[in-house]
Chain A
Amino acid sequence: MKIKIQRYSSSFEIKEYEVDMQGATLLAVLNEIKTKQDSSLTYASGCRSSVCGSCSMRVNSKEVLACGYKIKDGDLVEPLKNTPVIRDLVVDMDKALSFNAKAKAWQSSLSKNIALTQADEKRNEIQSDCILCGSCYSACPVYAVNEEFLGPFALTRVWKYVSDSRENTPENKIDTIQTNGVWDCTLCNECTLVCPQNISSKADIEKLRSKSAMAGYNDPNFGNFGGGFGFDGSPSF
């Protein structure tokens, strides 16, 4: 079977490789190409069991983990979007990851002797499954218009802490995500569709919006019209 890989060193070029590996993961195929055919092929990988988040890339325009995707004849493999490509399938994640700090995605202070129930634990169990692979970040269309958007994984992380009863100042967390944050999301749900851990950042952002509203914040996209909201959520004048 043939697969095509978007290469980049000084310029972009799509290269085709022939492999005979039915049912193999994309990562196994990349390893085969690297060690047997073309040692210059560049990609990141680590655990090969979908938990370290190193080998996220796009196949036929959809974000996948190379170690969790089984290749098909004719697949086109490309690097993540919204991040600078360093070489071939390796992107620079520094700026993407910097949004965790900008969003203050951590617990404000150490909390002692707070007993969490099973219901407490379930509230943010799935958000704490995040592996920071950046698939959601790559799929997010907001970056085309706002490069400073805090983005799906950072906001999911904020929700993880806001929803945790060990967080003693959740209102400060909500304050931090008003600018370039929850209201910049278009709720398009692309992040949800590509998450290898079945996290829905869109849903987390909606929950953060509702917390924001309870804290007295309004959707700035509608605020200037001076009216309120109709029952169907559309602005009324």
Chain B
Amino acid sequence: MKSDVLVIGAGGAGLVAALKAHESGAKVRVITKEYPTRSQTSMAQGGINAALGNVSDDSVEDHIQNTLKSAHGIANEEAVRLLCGSAPEAVEWLDSIGVCFSRTKDAKIAQRTLGGASAPRACYAQDYTGLKILHTLYDRCLACGIEIVNERYLLDFITHKSQTEDTYIGGASVLNIRTGEVEIYESASVIVATGGYSRVYEKHSTNATGSTGDGIAAAIRAGARLSDMEFIQFHPTALKGSSILISESARGAGGYLLNSKGQRFTNELAPRDEVARAINDEIKKGEDVFLDIRHLGEAFIDEELPQERKLARLYENIDPVYDLIPIKPVAHYTMGGIEVDKESQTRVRGLYAVGECANHKVHGANRLGGNSLLELIVFGKQAGENAAKHAIQNIKVGSDLGMQRNAHSNILQEIKEFTSEIDFYEKRELIGNLFYEKVGITRENDGLQSALEEVMKIHKDIAMMGPKDKSKIYNTNLLEFIEFKNILELSEIILTCAIKRQESRGAHFRSDKKVQNDTLYKVHSIVFKDKSAYGVQYED
């Protein structure tokens, strides 16, 4: 099965990339482990940033400065300038394909304030912004006749080595979830858009169950590099019992954070890392923490935050119109990911990465709310166009140069030998708890070291943790096990990077090294695979 551009992942990033590659003349195929509209993008609530100034004065320069400030010195200014400078055009494009944004009284796209922003900059559609963008992108893909193949799980990338020892992409080895068969998708360019790795934290994450870093783990196995993996954002306000997200727009609209005594204790609209730490400090003191939006009134809540009211009622049995919302911070967004250059290309020639799985170095040590939906559009376009260009130039390279082909994935073969005497679901939960406690909002060396030991111990026993279910047809026990293996692989990498960075910067807060140390650490951590071991180094 051949295409010019193979897109893996059908969330916002994947679909934008697919559309743009298609517009550039490439034959595009999209594969997804679920269905496009089930992707993580559907959960984005708050909005997409663009300095339109529809509600009050704003400028692209302010957007850039806010983003850089929140990134704590390790964003790439050139990339941030591209992101923010392209934002108005990105939102205009979404408007032109039919996204149902909320509107102002004077018929403009409505905007609201999120944390760390100097102006109301996030364009929104009630608190369903991601949902409405994702579905409209899906409809656009159907309009363009783009082929989408559902329920296909990425096992490994197929690579070629050229005579000059460069690694080229050749496609992907994929598990057809429905049949249990392995399928080979050949493609001159591949775009990986598989999302982040917040589910390392298991139930202590706002994310959907699929955010297991599959594409990131496969990318490093194929020879790509990862960067800034230690930077994981905790969203300040998830529902206490279920970790379900309550949008930052609730605070943007004037919601308060209160402790058990009913006292406010922080600036609710500071960037997420600061607010999450302030909440964590209260919780450590034995306080319960609540979000209070009662004063916003029922009409406002129903108009602007209908989803929040529904979720709070369902999961906490409280009505935010009348009650305080019990909250806690949980893992929400992973800043780290596959390292890409300014063309969105990884170290594997022809392999592009976009969205949360990629690190375009625009978020640095802490992402601003409203910038992730934006990066999907801006860098999705870039990745799609460049992948199409690469495919058209390189379509014959693989076969003509007689490259060595590494086409098969060992994953399934290997797992067949595994026993199931140790329950991997238990270990998955254990890693989630361990990470929340020791690799969470605050970290320190001893805790990180002990977590690493624990994770390595689990890794050593992996051959005793296979799936119990041996069925070929739609085996979710097997899938969850492969996801768990990816999580395990990334856990070690995250821990190694977190131990090495002996300072505090943005979302990486070391209680034993509280100061930001620009002399030593104003750099990106880079992880690469050297034979069977991982190496970590710092680069500008």
Contacts and interface: CB of A to CB of B under 8 A. Distances in A.
Given A39-B468, A100-B142, A47 B474 contact: no
Interface string A33-53: 011100110111111111111
B443 to A, nearest CB: 27
B37 A53 contact: yes
B1 interface: no
Interface stretch (B103-111, B167-175, B269-277, B290-298): B103-111
B46 to A, nearest CB: 14
A51 B128 contact: yes
Contacts of B264: none
Interface size grouping (class) on chain B: 35 or more
Interface in B339-358: none
B18 interface: no
A86 B474 contact: yes
A213 B500 CA distance: 70
Given A42-B474, A107-B97, A48 B142 contact: no
B474 A117 contact: no
Interface stretch (A91-99, A142-150, A220-228): A91-99
The interface residues of chain A, by DSSP majority, are classed as loop
A100 B139 contact: yes
Contact of B476 (A42, A51, A124, A164): A42
B394 to A, nearest CB: 30
B314 A120 contact: no
Interface string B26-43: 000000001101111011
Interface string A85-118: 0110010111001001100111100111001111
B135 A132 contact: yes
B2 interface: no
A46 to B, nearest CB: 4
A40 B38 contact: no
B124 to A, nearest CB: 12
Contacts of B34: 44, 46, 54
A9 B470 CA distance: 12
B98 A107 contact: yes
Contacts of A53: 37-38, 42
A52 B96 contact: no
Contacts of B425: 34-36, 39
A128 interface: yes
Contacts of B469: 39-40
B92 interface: yes
12 contacts: A36-B425, A47-B38, A48-B242, A49-B311, A51-B307, A52-B37, A86-B473, A106-B139, A110-B93, A112-B96, A125-B100, A166-B96
Contacts of B142: 100-101, 105-106
Given A110-B97, A115-B108, A129-B128, A94 B102 contact: no
Nearest to A112: B96
Interface in A63-95: 68, 86-87, 90, 92-94
A161 B97 CA distance: 10
Q: Residue among A52, A87, A94, A160 with the most chain B CB within 10 A?
A: A52
Contacts of B104: 118
B131 A106 contact: no
B135 A128 contact: yes
B360 interface: no
Given A86-B474, A105-B139, A116-B103, A39 B97 contact: no
A171 B42 CA distance: 30
A118 B101 CA distance: 10
A156 to B, nearest CB: 12
Interface of B: 34-35, 37-40, 42-43, 92-93, 95-98, 100-105, 107-108, 125-126, 128, 131-132, 135, 139-140, 142-143, 150, 178, 208-210, 242, 244-245, 307, 310-311, 314-315, 423, 425, 467-469, 471, 473-477
A43 B100 CA distance: 31
Contact of B98 (A45, A131, A164): A164
Contact of A50 (B38, B108, B311): B311
A121 B100 contact: yes
A29 interface: no
Given A52-B208, A128-B125, A120 B103 contact: yes
Q: Residue among B39, B101, B131, B425 with the most chain A CB within 10 A?
A: B131
Contact of B126 (A87, A104, A125): A125
Contact of A51 (B108, B131, B473): B131
Contact of B43 (A52, A68, A86, A116): A52
A128 B43 CA distance: 15
A130 interface: yes
A184 B126 CA distance: 33
A124 B105 CA distance: 17
Contacts of A110: 93, 96-97
A209 interface: no
A160 B317 CA distance: 33
Given A49-B245, A121-B102, A9 B473 contact: yes
Contact of A47 (B95, B208, B423, B477): B208
B65 to A, nearest CB: 29
A157 interface: yes
B214 to A, nearest CB: 14
Q: Residue among B38, B131, B208 with the most chain A CB within 10 A?
A: B38
A107 B139 contact: yes
Nearest to A97: B35
Interface string A153-190: 00001001100101100000000000000000000000
B38 A52 contact: yes
A121 B95 CA distance: 12
A57 to B, nearest CB: 14
B360 to A, nearest CB: 25
Contacts of B108: 115
Contact of B209 (A25, A45, A112): A45
A68 B314 contact: yes
A124 B463 CA distance: 53
